[in-house]
C-alpha cells in the first residue's frame, strides 16, 4: 500500500463486505476519485483532511445498464485492465471462505469451477 500511495486516478470499489474506505484513500493521486459500487452495511469513516488536501472525491453509483456495462468492458479492453482470477474447485471452498472472513484483503477474485467440481 505504501509503494502505491498517490498512484491512482480512479478506484472502482466493488467490495460488498464491511470495510473501511479510508484505507484506500491514500492510494489516490491529486484529484483522484473513489467510486463506491459495492453496498456495505456499516458507515465508512473518512477524515475530511484526507480528501481536501489533494482534492480527492468519493462518488457512488448503482450498477449501470447494458450500455454502461459495455462501455466499462470496452474501456478495460482498450487499457488492458484484467482481473486477477483464481479458479478453484469445490473442495477448496472452506479454505477460501476462511481466507475471506479472516482477512479480506485479497486482490484476487475466486471463481468456482462447477464443471470440474462434481463429486
Q: What is the pLDDT of residues 81-103, one digit of tens each?
A: 988 899 999 999 999 888 888 77
Phi/psi-derived region of residue 12, left when phi > 0, alpha when psi is between -120 and 50, beta in every other case: beta
**Residue 88 shares a structural domain with residue 30:** no
Q: Is 80 exceeded by the pLDDT of residue 65? A: no
Same domain, 62 and 5: yes
CA 80 to chain centre: 17
Cα–Cα dist 34/27, whole Å:
10
Q: Is residue 77 helix, strand or coil?
A: helix
Whole-angstrom distance, CA of residue 111 vs CA of residue 25: 28
- Give yes or no: residues 1 and 58 share one domain: yes
Give the residue, 57 or 67, on which the prediction is more confident.
57
Pair (119, 87) in one structural domain: yes
Residues 3 and 60 in one domain: yes
- Please, are residues 33 and 9 in contact by the beta-carbon 8 Å criterion? yes
**17 and 62 part of one domain:** yes
Same domain, 60 and 110: no
14 shares its domain with 44 = yes
* Helices and strands (DSSP H and E) totals, the chain: 3, 5
Answer yes or no: is pLDDT of 119 > 70: no
Range(s) of the domain holding residue 95:
83-119
Tally of domains in the chain: 2
Higher pLDDT, 15 or 4: 4
Distance, first Cα to last Cα, the chain: 40
Same domain for 5 and 59, yes or no, is yes
CATH value at residue 9? 3.40.50.720
Amino acid at each position: 500500500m505504501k509503494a502505491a500511495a498517490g498512484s491512482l486516478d480512479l478506484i472502482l470499489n466493488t467490495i460488498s463486505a464491511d470495510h473501511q474506505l479510508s484505507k484506500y484513500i491514500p492510494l489516490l493521486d491529486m484529484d483522484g476519485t473513489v467510486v463506491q459500487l459495492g453496498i456495505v452495511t456499516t458507515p465508512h469513516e473518512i477524515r475530511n483532511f484526507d480528501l481536501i488536501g489533494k482534492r480527492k472525491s468519493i462518488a457512488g453509483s448503482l450498477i449501470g445498464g447494458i450500455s454502461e456495462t459495455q462501455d466499462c468492458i470496452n474501456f478495460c479492453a482498450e487499457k488492458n485492465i484484467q482481473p486477477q482470477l483464481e479458479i478453484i474447485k469445490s473442495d477448496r471452498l472452506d479454505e477460501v471462505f476462511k481466507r475471506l472472513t479472516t482477512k479480506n484483503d485479497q486482490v484476487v477474485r475466486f471463481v468456482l469451477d462447477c464443471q470440474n467440481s462434481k463429486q
